[in-house]
A and B are shown apart, each in its own frame.
Chain A
Amino acid sequence: MMASSYSAKEEDGHHSGAPGPGGVNAKSRKPDNTAFKQQRLPAWQPILTAGTVLPAFFIIGLLFIPIGIGLYVTSNNIKEYEIDYTGVDMSSPCFNCSQNYSWNSTKPCTCSVAFSLDQPFESNVFMYYGLSNYYQNHRRYVKSRDDSQLNGNLNSLKDPSKECEPYRTNDGLPIAPCGAIANSLFNDTLELYYNDPNGTKIPIRLVKTGIAWWTDKHVKFRNPVGDGSNLSAVFQGTTKPVNWQKYVYQLDTDPDNNGFINEDLIVWMRTAALPTFRKLYRIIEKQGDATPTLPRGNYTLLITYNYPVRSFEGRKRMILSTISWMGGKNPFLGIAYITVGSVCFFLGVVLLIIHHKYGSRSNNADIAS
């Protein structure tokens, strides 16, 4: 197949078609004289000069170092206490419980860990459980949920999304809540006792609401609305997740914290980004100005040990932490800021020296003069 340049020549006056200078017959095809078409748009033409770059470095340095110091100091003032209660060691109080690999052991195993706080924890104290080597961010895990079901959609309640497989149905009944995330809900119970110097164990009140995002609790998660106010009736025709011991409507007695809007469930359903994570478990509210929330002294952590992690070499921790304007303890941020600020400042100095010693710009200004 030949492609060619050959084509019909315009026989009718191609030659005479070009108008002379005075040709008024043809419309001028002269392009418009607009700044846009002529590429003359007014523009700011920045250039990296010593006058702009070096001050920028110093400014960054001078900004970052104080911020870093502030962050570091704030972070250092936060008190945090962490116990690993997995029970890997023989000596660990929870060793026996951790030997129990099964999910469905009917008899709850409890163990208690004693610890002492050297410093009193002021203001609200937040109690976390932490898991390590736990892949909540695994692709198959992350997608194994049905947000529509959790949002109270009745259709999804009865017919959960395929994403929930293999935890979609059990014995022909749809699982509520379906999916691997819900199925693996963290179900250890942690209780905290203050060992009064006089020997009595005072239970510390743990608030179990307000631990989830407001939007999750009030918008994203909703119980399905059924005929009656009775949750169990609404969930009629569904079954509990395989690993659960109770139904979703039995999670709590408080109707505002039961079913899908149970905050423990909500917290768990907000999957972690990294395999080592912590999740807020309870809040210990400040009682009054007089006494610290957690005074200095000995404490006992009573664990109802249900959640097996040793099968995959996971770890379980309990963390107590106070909080500041910028959140919990986070030394990384402060150090990073100080480092980056210093590096910038240092770079600024180095560049300044280089510029003064070797900068070729200054001596070829003769182009311009």
Chain B
Amino acid sequence: MFKEKPPPEEERKVRANDREYNEKFQYANNCIMTSKYNIITFLPVNLFEQFQEVANTYFLFLLILQLIPQISSLSWFTTIVPLVLVLSITAVKDATDDYFRHKSDNQVNNRQSQVLINGTLQNEKWMNVRVGDIIRLENNQFVAADLLLLSSSEPHGLCYIETAELDGETNMKVRQSLPVTSELGDPNSLAQFDGEVICEPPNNKLDRFCGTLYWRENKYGLSNQNMLLRGCVLRNTESCYGLVIFAGPDTKLMQNSGRTKFKRTSIDRLMNTLVLWIFGFLVCMGVILAIGNAVWEKEVGFLFQSYLPWDPPVDNFLFSAFLAFWSYVIILNTVVPISLYVSVEVIRLGHSYFINWDRRMFCQRRNTPAEARTTTLNEELGQVEYIFSDKTGTLTQNIMTFNKCSINGHAYGEVIDTLGAQPKRAQRLDFSFNPLADRDFCFYDQNLLDSVKLGEPAVHEFFRLLSLCHTVMSEEKSEGELMYKAQSPDEGALVTAARNFGFVFRSRTPSTVTVQELGRSVTYALLAILDFNNIRKRMSVIVRNPEGKIRLYCKGADTLLFERLHPCNHDLMNVTSDHLNEYAADGLRTLVLAYRDLSEQQWEDWAERRRSAERAADYREDRLAAAYEEIEQDMMLLGATAIEDKLQEGVPETIAILSLANIKIWVLTGDKQETAVNIGYSCKMLTDDMSEVFIINGHTVQRVREELRRARERMIESARSREGGKEGVMDWAACSLENGFGGQSGEQGGWHPQQEEKPQQGSPPAPALPSLLDSISGEYALVISGHSLAHALEADMEREFLDTACACKAVICCRVTPLQKALVVELVKKHKKAVTLAIGDGANDVSMIKTAHIGVGISGQEGIQAVLASDYSFSQFRFLQRLLLVHGRWSYLRMCRFLCYFFYKNFAFTMVHFWFGFFCGFSAQTVYDQYFITLYNIVYTSLPVLAMGIFDQDVPEQRSLEYPKLYEPGQLNLLFNKREFFICIAQGIYTSVVLFCVPYGVLSQATRNDGIPLADYQTFAVTVATSLVIVVSVQIALDTGYWTAINHFFVWGSLGAYFTILFAMHSNILFSIFPNQFHFFGSAQNTLIQPVVWLTIALATVVCIVPVLAFRFLKLDLKPQLSDTVRYTQLVRQKKRKPGGRGGRGAHGGVAGLGGGALGRLGRAGSRRSGYAFAHQEGFGELITSGKNMRLSSLALATFASRHSASWIDTLRKKKQQPPQPGGEGSPASSYTAPLSTSSSMLGPPDTQAEETGNTPLGLAPSGSSSAVTPTPVRSPGGESTGGWVVSLGAVQVTPTASAPVSGLTSRISFHV
């Protein structure tokens, strides 16, 4: 394990089929090991690790001290029992974890692969594969190591891989072998292959490889296109051969997987600090008492020797003081009780179980409950400030559905009842007339089908376009069983829509497309594909129909297409534009469709120009683009499509509620910018109310820096102008200035009918939702792309980036690599002392999940990598609100209350010894019986505080969702911090003083009623111990906010247990067996029978509790926390509640109305965004026309299909884009920024905001918003729980929350929820 590492490789030389040669370099073999222990090393290594914990070492040290008789002031068992308990629990846990790692390693290492050895293929385990071996892979097999693709069964040495395990993308990628090696098809010729590869050393760059193959005196350059990386799965390829370049730990996959770090919560760290402080405090007390001992031994003890001689080794007072120091360290060690750590773990475990058990985090569809995979982070869930979310599969389901369309000015689409929360959907359309229809396709508007059947030419042309203009490939396994393979799910959705409406794309060749048009098979000649790219934002095909007419079909982004329409389309364009606005407002991805008839002449001319452009040696791309541009003119508008990138259920609501809780949400996605922004809008992260959305898209350091700076300036500027303006006038001016700017550029596409509408829509309801969040910085959003992020994350700019980003309400990072995701998280973690949470579902999120304080995995479709790496997993993004606002909040609250109480009770317990030291000659005599000391933390006081730590609730769960502001104390770390800690300590010390002084004052004089003095040691001990137990029980009773039967049982049970054990320990029976162990025989009976003792206990209790009570009452009365107010409100509501009366409606009505209204409004705000449904890269068009990929293995596809039979769209994933063409980076940004940065007018006058926030103690505006905004139903993507959020909030306030009778005016009110 600790092998000496060879010096880092500079370059790697691998010779194929030559193990001897390769062994010289000692490359790592293909065996991976992620486990930490084996059977022999487990005990020592684990113990070693455990004793690295300061606390454990400390207790071990104490244990050793206790074995020295001169020092031992306590019996050894007071320490060893809990210590052994703690160590063994942890060891068992570690062993289980490691066992599973072993199992997983074994499974991976023992996978079979076919290795070419001496010219024959032999089965070998993965771990026996060496660098330089040639291995054969078959379809759907995992790639065993990083391979150089030599040849494949497909033509041209192509093969397809799925890289989901590696980067989370489930679309297929093409890899191609070098032409020279692609001919080596059979094992014999491969066995002869003796090429040598010289390449870069192992690294973690997934998208880069550089090396050279030397073979037969020739040099061939190698790139990532030739590599198959470990973790990929071979798809659609019968078999292929590869040369192992990197194996085992050197593979890019393993290089990319970060170390698993043990995550600690901030409370953990604080706790450790505090424990250190307490330890310091302990030493101080020890020193004080040791000095006391020295003085006492010198002044008194020395003289007292005739009665009490010094123990033999002690011959002077200094030595005695030295021993006393250690003795006191032992007896005062209970200020840091070891049971603290055990109890914390138990509480966290309990909270984890509550998460696992939560039915509201159970996903019926997937049959998966939420799972707390790490049990140590729960309270941190209550402190989250930043959420980093993946997009695909997390926010979205990655299912594209053809949702609406506008054909020739007529809108078709979903029929939703706009008033009710429950959309009454029309019947799903019946496509049974079409034998080729995809059964999973849903559409609800009968009109469209009718139009198709009636033969409306525009509708037919519309669907014909959809069936022709794409790069989808089809596979027909058997008659009528069509399988589409699209690079982007959007395209798949469009082609499928056309298919279901009777225009079935059946097959293609490089030069033809065959479509089944309403049952009639038509073959079009495919003349050209004008492929999509990032700048063009459109694609066209030019086809010749059987009649010989040439037509260009184009689909693309509205802004670009509208410019290229024939002027006669003006009216239609206005109508379509209206529709597009509607779609965009709903967050749909839109495409505009158009066609153009071409004459034979036009086509010939243009084809000639294109050919010359293609032949051009330089600026080929530009020339081609220009040529394309030329032909895509004067088009006729057909209509528009709207595709829904289906959000996960309840995503917008969750995001809204989380941002109300002051949690910042950053989306980190591998998607391209447009898609990401679109989703940002549809899930309400970005809204049209935002002052500005900054797009950072620069490719150079200067550029990025400049853009960041500009964004900051803008924010400061507008903040300043807003501050400056006393009335809304100034502010209004500033805003409208901005608005004007944004608006103008937004109009670049021209003809926005909403132009007039905008200010009117923007201004009145402005101060509703957003103003409450962060009225100073306004509402900004930042969109940054991967290449800019790479610059922004450099050391000199990261601060700048972070400051800018953190000033924004929403941040979207698009096209980021897995590593960048982690870096962004790391950055926030490093500079903001905030708790971060990363949520994702794919393997590409693993690094981020591991880096963040809390990693949440969506147990979705993308495999289990993210879940395995995560701390919490569930299957729906919306469960996050419950995880954070309910479970996290409670966990934090409970943990804080627990810790406060725990430190309090131990100080109260232990400090009595300190005071007693002054009266017992600093001799480290304990005040209590040793059994009491042993049992105090384990038995007498542990269960009530555990019950509180596990079950306590300050406000019911519905309230925490209703008032997201309740989450804030956690983020600000208000409930347990150093200040709170000192208060607890002070209270504990005060209690200890009272517990010592009151019995001292009373008992020193008192006698029993039979004349015997009460001031004997044992009576004193019993009195103090009993007072202590009662005081801390009363205190826990005060601290407990939620008295379940279990709390009652534990509190009363602990008291009962105390008295039972007390009498048992002081009983006849035990004494008669072990007279030397139970010195306290009879004390309980003799003491507790005395009225004076009880009067003393009562006095001590009252003196301890009354100040606390008064203090708490004052705090509650004068400065109530939000949670107190909510709790109180609940109480008041209980009192006022009349049958049918809606006592507490106001607040909830307000909140619900506000929420619903806000969301509704956000949804309706009508600025235009061009969302369009291209999400793929260019390049497939070329493949199609070249015909390279036309032979798809039917076998491959069949298996592929069966695996994904549930929903074929699932498998069609976006393709991560290559970096766009150089020279074009500016234009997407600018053309995009413009429409986004529109309506700043939503900000509204600031004084209104202040007023709104001021008059409501909850910080939520209950009024105004509901009147200004009519609640609009939230469009629910999931359908089944539509508008669930709004409804549930509404339901809360109407539903009577209690059934308990009101029990009078003044007396306590008990109620049940």
Binary interface encoding of chain B residues 999-1033 relative to chain A, with 1 for a CB under 8 A from any of its CBs, else 0: 01111111111111111111111000000000000
- A5 touching B865, Cβ below 8 Å: yes
**Chain B nearest Cβ from A263, distance in angstroms:** 11
- B354 touching A37, Cβ below 8 Å: yes
Residues of chain B lying within 8 A (CB to CB) of residue A294: none
**Chain A nearest Cβ from B810, distance in angstroms:** 28
For chain B, give the interface size range: 35 or more
Question: Quick one: closest A residue to B311, CB to CB?
Answer: A140
- A128 touching B1013, Cβ below 8 Å: yes
Question: Quick one: closest A residue to B320, CB to CB?
Answer: A140
Of A4, A180, A325, A332, which is in contact with the most chain B CB atoms at under 10 Å from its CB? A4
- A38 touching B108, Cβ below 8 Å: no
Within 8 Å by CB of B1016, from A14, A20, A273, lies: A273
Of A11, A49, A308, which is in contact with the most chain B CB atoms at under 10 Å from its CB? A49
Q: Is B19 close to A, CB under 8 A? A: no
A228-236, A249-257, A356-364 - the one binding chain B: A356-364
Residues of chain B lying within 8 A (CB to CB) of residue A31: 356-359, 362, 369
Interface residues of B in 299-347 (CB under 8 A from A): 300-301, 303-304, 306-309, 311-312, 327
Residues of chain A lying within 8 A (CB to CB) of residue B595: none
- B925 touching A139, Cβ below 8 Å: yes
B687-695, B770-778, B1074-1082 - the one binding chain A: B1074-1082
Interface residues of B in 1057-1079 (CB under 8 A from A): 1068, 1071-1072, 1075-1076, 1079
Within 8 Å by CB of A275, from B259, B846, B919, lies: B919
**How many residue pairs bridge A and B at CB < 8 Å?**
414
Interface residues of A in 124-170 (CB under 8 A from B): 124, 126, 128, 133-142, 144, 146-148, 150-151, 153, 156, 161, 163, 165-166
Residues of chain B lying within 8 A (CB to CB) of residue A5: 257, 260, 843, 846, 850, 865, 868-869
Residues of chain A lying within 8 A (CB to CB) of residue B105: 7
Q: Is A13 close to B, CB under 8 A? A: yes
**Chain A nearest Cβ from B966, distance in angstroms:** 13
Bound CA span A277–B1110, Å: 37
- A220 touching B998, Cβ below 8 Å: no
- B308 touching A138, Cβ below 8 Å: yes
Q: Is A213 close to B, CB under 8 A? A: yes
Residues of chain A lying within 8 A (CB to CB) of residue B1075: 147-148, 150-151, 153, 220
A51-59, A113-121, A188-196 - the one binding chain B: A51-59
- B923 touching A140, Cβ below 8 Å: yes
Residues of chain A lying within 8 A (CB to CB) of residue B510: none
Q: Is A71 close to B, CB under 8 A? A: yes
* CB-CB under 8 A for A7 and B1016, given A135-B308, A336-B998, A347-B1110: no
- A1 touching B1146, Cβ below 8 Å: no
Bound CA span A274–B73, Å: 18
Q: Is B367 close to A, CB under 8 A? A: yes
Question: Quick one: closest A residue to B955, CB to CB?
Answer: A45
Bound CA span A344–B1103, Å: 9
* CB-CB under 8 A for A278 and B359, given A46-B1043, A141-B308, A220-B1071: no
Of A32, A55, A142, A184, which is in contact with the most chain B CB atoms at under 10 Å from its CB? A142
- A43 touching B1146, Cβ below 8 Å: no
- A215 touching B1043, Cβ below 8 Å: no
Q: Is A23 close to B, CB under 8 A? A: yes
Residues of chain A lying within 8 A (CB to CB) of residue B953: 39, 43, 45
Question: Quick one: closest A residue to B1048, CB to CB?
Answer: A44
- B1011 touching A124, Cβ below 8 Å: yes
Bound CA span A323–B304, Å: 33
Q: Is B1288 close to A, CB under 8 A? A: no
Q: Is A240 close to B, CB under 8 A? A: no
Bound CA span A215–B301, Å: 32
- A29 touching B368, Cβ below 8 Å: yes
**Chain A nearest Cβ from B1126, distance in angstroms:** 8
- A216 touching B1082, Cβ below 8 Å: yes
Bound CA span A248–B111, Å: 85
Residues of chain B lying within 8 A (CB to CB) of residue A99: none
Q: Is A368 close to B, CB under 8 A? A: yes
Bound CA span A272–B1003, Å: 11
Residues of chain A lying within 8 A (CB to CB) of residue B1017: 136-137, 142, 270-273
- B1086 touching A213, Cβ below 8 Å: yes
**Chain A nearest Cβ from B898, distance in angstroms:** 16
Question: Quick one: closest B residue to A270, CB to CB?
Answer: B1016
- B367 touching A23, Cβ below 8 Å: yes
Question: Quick one: closest B residue to A369, CB to CB?
Answer: B1146
Residues of chain B lying within 8 A (CB to CB) of residue A308: 306
Of B1110, B1118, B1257, which is in contact with the most chain A CB atoms at under 10 Å from its CB? B1110
Question: Quick one: closest A residue to B1147, CB to CB?
Answer: A367
Residues of chain B lying within 8 A (CB to CB) of residue A359: 1117-1118
Within 8 Å by CB of A39, from B362, B865, B957, B1000, lies: B957
Residues of chain B lying within 8 A (CB to CB) of residue A133: 300
Q: Is A19 close to B, CB under 8 A? A: yes
Q: Is B1133 close to A, CB under 8 A? A: yes
- A45 touching B311, Cβ below 8 Å: no
B384-392, B418-426, B1089-1097 - the one binding chain A: B1089-1097
- A148 touching B1076, Cβ below 8 Å: yes
Question: Quick one: closest B residue to A27, CB to CB?
Answer: B367
Q: Is B34 close to A, CB under 8 A? A: yes
- A219 touching B1068, Cβ below 8 Å: yes
Residues of chain A lying within 8 A (CB to CB) of residue B1090: 327
Bound CA span A4–B249, Å: 10
- A21 touching B364, Cβ below 8 Å: yes
- B1114 touching A71, Cβ below 8 Å: no
* CB-CB under 8 A for A45 and B1311, given A312-B303, A327-B1092, A332-B1001: yes
* CB-CB under 8 A for A336 and B1099, given A212-B1012, A280-B1013, A327-B1009: yes
Binary interface encoding of chain A residues 345-360 relative to chain B, with 1 for a CB under 8 A from any of its CBs, else 0: 0010001001100111
**Chain A nearest Cβ from B643, distance in angstroms:** 23
- A4 touching B1102, Cβ below 8 Å: no
**Chain B nearest Cβ from A142, distance in angstroms:** 6
Q: Is A176 close to B, CB under 8 A? A: no
**Chain B nearest Cβ from A274, distance in angstroms:** 5
Interface residues of A in 306-361 (CB under 8 A from B): 308, 311-313, 321, 323-333, 336-337, 340, 343-344, 347, 351, 354-355, 358-361
**Chain B nearest Cβ from A151, distance in angstroms:** 5
Residues of chain B lying within 8 A (CB to CB) of residue A42: 1044-1045, 1312
- A14 touching B107, Cβ below 8 Å: no
Within 8 Å by CB of A10, from B864, B1018, B1021, B1043, lies: B864
Residues of chain B lying within 8 A (CB to CB) of residue A277: 1004, 1013, 1015-1016
Bound CA span A366–B1144, Å: 9
B428-436, B823-831, B1198-1206 - the one binding chain A: B1198-1206
**Chain A nearest Cβ from B771, distance in angstroms:** 20
- B1076 touching A161, Cβ below 8 Å: yes
Bound CA span A4–B248, Å: 12
* CB-CB under 8 A for A272 and B1015, given A3-B260, A126-B1007: yes
- A368 touching B1132, Cβ below 8 Å: yes
* CB-CB under 8 A for A15 and B1204, given A273-B1016, A277-B1015, A326-B1091: yes
Q: Which 10 A-B pairs have the closest CB atoms?
A: A215-B1082, A4-B257, A273-B1020, A7-B104, A328-B1007, A37-B357, A8-B107, A126-B1011, A139-B923, A312-B303
Give 5 pairs: A residue, B residue, CB < 8 Å, sorted on A: A4-B34, A4-B253, A9-B165, A31-B359, A151-B1075
* Interface residue ranges, A against B (CB under 8 Å): 1-11, 13-16, 18-21, 23, 26, 28-33, 37-53, 55-57, 60, 64, 67, 71, 103, 124, 126, 128, 133-142, 144, 146-148, 150-151, 153, 156, 161, 163, 165-166, 180, 183-184, 210-213, 215-216, 219-220, 270-280, 283, 308, 311-313, 321, 323-333, 336-337, 340, 343-344, 347, 351, 354-355, 358-361, 364-369
Additional A-B contacts beyond A43-B951, A321-B1011, A332-B1001 (17; CB < 8 A): A5-B843, A23-B367, A39-B953, A42-B1044, A71-B1095, A103-B306, A137-B919, A137-B923, A138-B301, A142-B1017, A147-B1075, A151-B1072, A184-B308, A219-B1082, A273-B1015, A312-B300, A359-B1118
